[in-house]
Structure 1
Amino acid sequence: MSKELKEVQGIIFKRQKFHEADLLAKIITKNSGIITMIARGALKPKSKLGASLLNFSYGTYVIVSSGQGLSNLRTYKNVKQFDGIFNDLTKNAYASFILDLVDHAFVEYQDLGKYYELTSLALTKINDGEDAEMITQTIQMQLLAAYGVEPELRHCVICGKETGDFDYSIVKGGIICSNHLYTDTTRLHLQPKETAVLRTIGLIPFSRLGTIKINQDTKKATRRAIDRIYQETIDLNLKTKKFLDELNLFT
């Protein structure tokens, strides 16, 4: 496959040393999916490439790519950084977890569609100090579709009822109304307001990301519910999630 010189706009989220003075960096891009770039000589003292590849840097990167495998980084333009995330351990942990979730939902070079804009907006809001946990929970609920596990949140999966009190059924793949709670003894046994939060954050438009305000008890309950949904339907084992647990943010 022939290689071409192209510009990609995106966000750096992983990097590691490669050979003596090279760097490998992963970037989530607006139009070309997730790409692993090699920056040759980036660790040499006189190289300017290394500074553009710090985690949570974003901008335009000029690469040579064949659309598969490693791409070669040539140069960069207008690179900035989410300083608020880079310099804050808690924000860093949430942002790293979100990017890890997106990374595992797609193969390299696969079009991310709406999820690039959703991820970029989430990082911007976390960087600016908005509620990182509710933003993360929202991303988790909306990413389920990318994993092929899109729950039915608009109406009862059994009768189609759209209003009233609901619980969440992992087995049935969505919400069940109060008339059909008996059909699943393994349902999450959430309070109606907790299920309402899951519905809201799972369906909320991007423009309202981060606007949901709930109390700590409800937030903990929805966090546990989302954890269980992921454990029983996707079963990821992410180091970034474990780190969040260690920070007592997801416990």
Structure 2
Amino acid sequence: MQYRVQGIVIRSMDYGEGNKIITLFSRELGKVAVIVRGAKKVKSRYASVAQLFTCGDYLFFKSGQLGTLNHAEIVESHHIIRGDLHKAAYASYMAELTDRVLGDQEANAFLFEQLKAALTALDEDKDMHIVTFIYEMKIWMQAGYQPELDACVSCSRDQADMYFSALVGGLLCENCRPRDPQAVPLAPGTLKLLRILAKMDIRRLGQIDVKPATKESLKQLIRSYYDTHIGVQLKSRHFLEQMEKYGV
């Protein structure tokens, strides 16, 4: 059967002497694997459409698990991202997160639009940390892992002093904090920002200025939550951590 989809290349791997297999995250079909014949050849007309982060319109034939590309046209190449180490690292993380958390052929038009907007935001020099935080929240929500950020997980109260607990999956108030002694206290500004990011549509994100200390706090909260509730090892996250460790 022949399919026509708009998709983003979230994985690309060599296949045979001159081919590639790409994983597209598409609006219409979700994740789908497609072989691009001749993509590794220098003069191939399909070399560019098989590159990571490329958004395009893809036409392919599919009869089993693997499709075969017939035609493709680029919508956004995102070459700016591929040419910048830091942008490429964060884009790779979002792409791998999408690939590992979502199942095959689970159509999700909203999440597709969020990833598409996230890559555009990186192109436009918007804060890559904030863009990534928002996308993480969106993919957790779509996958059923959204943390409780509106009120205390235990008693449903919203108080001035709140704590974030990866263990219980969200906020704890002062009275309920004994449920998790490792819960992290949240400054009012950090909690407010966390709630805003959880509800933010990346397509509406403007330029945003967040203090480095606040971004570091958010990063630690989000990573601890991911490790507790999802725990899938990602090569791209390891690379990000190595960049942070050595100040790259």
Query: Scaled by the length of structure 2, what TM-score is found?
Result: 0.90
Q: Following TM superposition, where does structure 1 have runs of at least 4 consecutive aligned residues deviating by more than 6 angstroms?
A: none
Secondary structure in structure 1 of the residue aligned to 2:141: coil
Name the CA distance, whole Å, in 1 between partners of 2:245 and 2:3: 40
Q: Which residue of 2 aligns with 1:106?
A: 102
1:32 is matched with 29
Partner of 1:62: 59
| Counterpart in the other structure of 2:69 | 73
Distance 2:191 2:100 in 1: 26
Superposition deviation, residue 249 in structure 1 = 7.6
Q: Decide which of 123, 130, 147 is 2:126's aligned counterpart.
A: 130
Stretch deviating more after TM superposition (98-107 or 138-147) = 138-147
Partner SS state of residue 151, structure 2? coil
Runs of at least 5 residues in structure 1 that lack an aligned partner in the other structure: none
What residue number does 1:216 align with?
212
Looking at structure 1, the residues matched to 125 and 143 of structure 2 have their Cα atoms a distance apart, in angstroms, of 28
Taking the aligned partners of 2:191 and 2:199, their CA distance within structure 1 comes to: 12
Aligned pair partner of 1:52 in 49, 53, 56: 49
Aligned partner of residue 171 in structure 1, secondary structure: coil
CA distance in 2, matches of 1:18, 1:118: 29
* 2:173 maps to 1:177: yes
> For residue 141 of structure 1, what is the aligned residue in structure 2?
137
Q: How does 1:79-94 map to 2 (within 5 A)?
A: 79-94=75-90
**Is 2:181 the partner of 1:189?**
no
The residue number in structure 2 matching 1:9 is 6
The letter of the residue matching 1:194 is T
In 1, Cα distance between equivalents of 2:108 and 2:156: 31
- Which has the larger displacement, 46-55 or 221-230? 46-55
Measure the CA separation in 2 of the matches of 1:162 and 1:127: 38
Instruction: Tell me the C-alpha RMSD between the 2 structures.
Output: 2.2
Report the residue type matching 2:5 in the other structure: V
Q: Which residue of 2 aligns with 1:18?
A: 15
Q: 1:78 to 1:147 in 2, by over 3 A?
A: closer
Unaligned runs of 5+ in 2: none
Q: Is the CA contact 1:105–1:146 (under 8 Å) kept in the aligned structure 2?
A: no
In the other structure, the counterpart of 2:240 is 244
CA distance 1:210–1:133, shift in 2 (3 Å): farther
Task: Give CA deviations for 1:40-93 in whole Å, capped at 9, x if unaligned.
Answer: 233345531222212222110110124x51111011124440122111111111
**C-alpha separation between the residues in 2 aligned to 1:203 and 1:187?**
23
Structure 1 counterpart SS, 2:232: coil
Q: Quick one: which amino acid aligns to residue 170 of structure 1?
A: A
Q: Give the CA deviation at 1:224.
A: 0.9
C-alpha distance after superposition, 1:146-171 (max 9, x if no partner):
34322111222223224523211223
**What secondary structure, in the 3-state scheme, does the structure 1 residue paired with 2:29 have?**
coil
- Report deviation, 1:26: 1.4
Residues 138 and 210 of structure 1, relative CA distance in 2, 3 Å threshold: farther
Note if 1:230 corresponds to 2:232.
no
Matched-pair identity in %: 28
Report the 3-state secondary structure (helix = DSSP H, G, I; strand = E; otherwise coil) of the residue aligned with 1:108.
coil
Specify whether residues 250 and 96 from structure 1 end up closer, same or farther in structure 2 by C-alpha distance, changes over 3 A only: farther
Residue identity opposite 1:116 in structure 2: F
Report the residue type matching 1:41 in the other structure: G
Distance 1:176 1:211 in 2: 31
